[in-house]
Copies of this chain bind each other. A is one copy, B any other.
Amino acid sequence: MTATETPVAIVGLGKIAVDQHVPSIAASPAFRLGAVISRHASMKGVPCYSSLGDMLAKEPDIPAVALCVPPQVRFDLAHEALSKGRNVLLEKPPGASLSEVEALSDLAKSNGCVLFATWHSRFAKGVPRAKEWLANREIGKVMITWREDVRHWHPGQQWIWQPGGLGVFDPGINALSILTEILPAPVQMTAAELEFPENRDTPIAARLSMRGSGKLAVEADFDWRQTGPQTWNIEVETDRGLLRLTGGGAHLEIDSRDVTDAEALQSEYDGIYGRFADLLREGRSEVDVSPLRHVADALMLGKRLVAAPFND
Mark A residues whose CB is within 8 Å of B. 72, 75, 96-100, 102-103, 106, 163-164, 166, 186-192, 196, 201, 290, 293-297, 299-304
CB < 8 Å: which of B96, B189, B290, B301 contacts A301?
B96
Q: Nearest-CB distance from A304 to chain B (Å)?
A: 6
Residues of B within 8 A of A196 (CB): 304
Residues of B within 8 A of A190 (CB): 97
| Bound Cα distance from A102 to B186, whole angstroms | 9
Asked if A189 and B300 sit within 8 Å, CB to CB, the answer is: no
Residues of B within 8 A of A299 (CB): 296, 299-300
Residues of B within 8 A of A189 (CB): 97, 99
Residues of B within 8 A of A103 (CB): 186, 188
A212 nearest in chain B by CB position: B103
| Bound Cα distance from A254 to B131, whole angstroms | 57
A196-B304, A299-B300 known; A187 and B99 CB under 8 Å?
Answer: yes
**What number of copies of this chain does the assembly contain?**
2
| Bound Cα distance from A248 to B187, whole angstroms | 35
Asked if B75 and A188 sit within 8 Å, CB to CB, the answer is: yes
Residues of B within 8 A of A303 (CB): 163, 201
Asked if B304 and A300 sit within 8 Å, CB to CB, the answer is: no
3 A-B pairs closest in CB distance: A296-B296, A97-B297, A164-B301
Asked if A163 and B191 sit within 8 Å, CB to CB, the answer is: yes
Asked if B99 and A293 sit within 8 Å, CB to CB, the answer is: yes
Q: Nearest-CB distance from A233 to chain B (Å)?
A: 23
| Bound Cα distance from A296 to B102, whole angstroms | 14
Residues of B within 8 A of A296 (CB): 98, 293, 296-297, 299-300
CB < 8 Å: which of B164, B188, B302, B304 contacts A99?
B188
Q: Nearest-CB distance from A81 to chain B (Å)?
A: 16
Q: 11 A-B pairs, CB-CB below 8 angstroms?
A: A75-B188, A97-B188, A98-B300, A99-B293, A103-B186, A163-B191, A163-B192, A163-B302, A166-B300, A296-B300, A300-B300
